[in-house]
Structure 1
Amino acid sequence: MAFTFTIPESVLPKGTKFKEGEVVDWGKKSLKEQTETEAIIDLAVELAIEPKAIFKHLKVNLGEMVKKGQLLAQKKGLLGSKDLKAPHSAEVRGINHEEGTLTLAISQITNVPFAIKATCVKKDKGHWYFKVSDGVEIPVQNSLDTNFGGYCSYIHSPSQISLETCETRIVITQDLDIMDQAKIAALGPIAIVSYEASYRDLSLPLLLLANKADWKNLFAKKWQLCLYLSANKFIYFFNP
């Protein structure tokens, strides 16, 4: 039975346009996503100085953009100097003279797989509508701060674990021990979808289905493609 799903315009690359009735086939498409992490450098400890004295040794200002290897702070002495350099290109986000710390905001651009194959129906209120031959929207227990889409592999025994079934695929798996799940994670999947998980690789997207009945239905239907959109509490499975 025909199934329709939506993708916010903001998710897609700027300027992306589709025609009504166009068959969109993004087999190896990826999206560029920006993530930000903070690194706190304890200048007082590293330079062996009082926290309130950090301004005497700082070589950067609040809000300044620094490059990897750039001098952040320096303590001069009779036998030379102690230099602290930026571990990454970053923004100086905070200077705390009470604790003697420097906070760096590090931005990274990553390519996120986003394969879809569907027919464009329309664009309405900032959303693109797509139609496929068959599909389902399934609720999940957790939400993630990333988007991803790709072809699925359904793994229910250790003998099915291989580079071919895991690499650049969304792996749907459950009844495996910790070692088997760790092996899957090491083979480069896009993400893992499960019902319960005894192993978690923090660098790999993991979604847990909310209902066991949906889990059984997944293995019965074995939809070809999967699509997840950031912050949603549901995931799409479909056939083109």
Structure 2
Amino acid sequence: MKIPVRIPKNAELFLKLGQKVDFNTPFHRKKGKKMTRIPLAEILDFKPEKIFIVLKKVVGDTVKKGELLAEHQAMFSTKQYLSSVNGLIKEIDHNLGTITLELDSEGSQTTMCFFKGQVEAIDEGCIEVKVKKANKFDTRETKHYFGGSVHYLDVLNQPLTEDDIFQKCIFGLALNSLDQAKIETLGAKAFITHLNSPTNIELKKIILQNVEDFEHIEKEKYPFCIIGVDNKSIYFYE
């Protein structure tokens, strides 16, 4: 069986075909972007409408730190502007005499795998992960996209420990107030339930559309899940 996993846009994928992955495996790195505006007309003292004459670059060009970006030849002197950053020219404003650069932020964020299995295929924007058994179930539409281990609440009011909760997706029909407070403060990822659940919880709440699916999952007790592959479904697998 295979489950699909989306790859975010502009992400550097760390996984390879055939690789076995778990929750400690780096998944991808996505560099943050930030913008900076440079007031060249003010810095070099020229009329804003002359910016295209002064510039040595156009929109879409890359700029390296220390590279000559603009040069203004006045009557008695020549003024130059050398870039202080690496970036990409996103906009030239001839009314203000400014340019906007898109920069790669100094830091980047590495996301760990929130799924387990073996990488079976890598396509543009998606990978397929081979697992032992998997089933897909309908949910209410969700913008959330994550996964992890599942902890099942078999009996209401059963004692819950931090090991039961931390980084787990909690599956159940209802919670008493004490357990609700526990799972909200001890690092649970989400609460998975069905349409008729009375629980009002601050965590991410994933709602199964069919009671029959809820009963099936509760019986099978799949150890893992992945949520939001297509914004309206959840995969349970082992």
Q: TM-score, normalised by structure 2?
A: 0.57
Offset from partner CA, 1:132-161 (integer Å, 9 cap, x none) = 0011111112312x3211111001322232
Pairing partner for 2:147 from 138, 146, 149 = 149
Give structure 1 regions of 4+ aligned residues with deviation exceeding 6 angstroms. 30-34, 109-113
2:112, 2:13 → 1: CA distance? Answer: 19
- Matched residues, percent identical? 20
- 1:119 CA drift (Å): 1.2
Bigger Rg over Cα: 2
1:182, 1:232 → 2: CA distance? Answer: 27
1:205, 1:220 → 2: CA distance? Answer: 23
Q: TM-score, normalised by structure 1?
A: 0.57
Residue 14 (structure 1) aligned with residue 26 (structure 2): no
In 2, are the aligned partners of 1:24 and 1:120 still within 8 Å (CA)?
Answer: yes
Corresponding position of 2:219: 220
- 1:228 CA drift (Å): 1.4
Aligned-residue RMSD, C-alpha: 3.0
Offset from partner CA, 1:88-125 (integer Å, 9 cap, x none) = xxxxxxxxxxxxxxxxxxxxx99877421111111234
Corresponding position of 1:117: 116
- 1:231 CA drift (Å): 5.9
The residue identity in structure 1 corresponding to 2:2 is T
Corresponding position of 1:160: 159
2:174, 2:110 → 1: CA distance? Answer: 30
- 1:172 CA drift (Å): 0.6
- The size of the alignment, in residue pairs, is 160
The 1:13/1:110 distance shift into structure 2, 3 A limit, reads closer
Corresponding position of 1:233: 232
Which ranges in structure 1 are unaligned for 5 or more consecutive residues? 35-108
Offset from partner CA, 1:183-229 (integer Å, 9 cap, x none) = 3222220111111242121xx21101110011111111111111113
The 1:216/1:127 distance shift into structure 2, 3 A limit, reads same
Offset from partner CA, 1:9-58 (integer Å, 9 cap, x none) = 22794233311x22122347687899xxxxxxxxxxxxxxxxxxxxxxxx
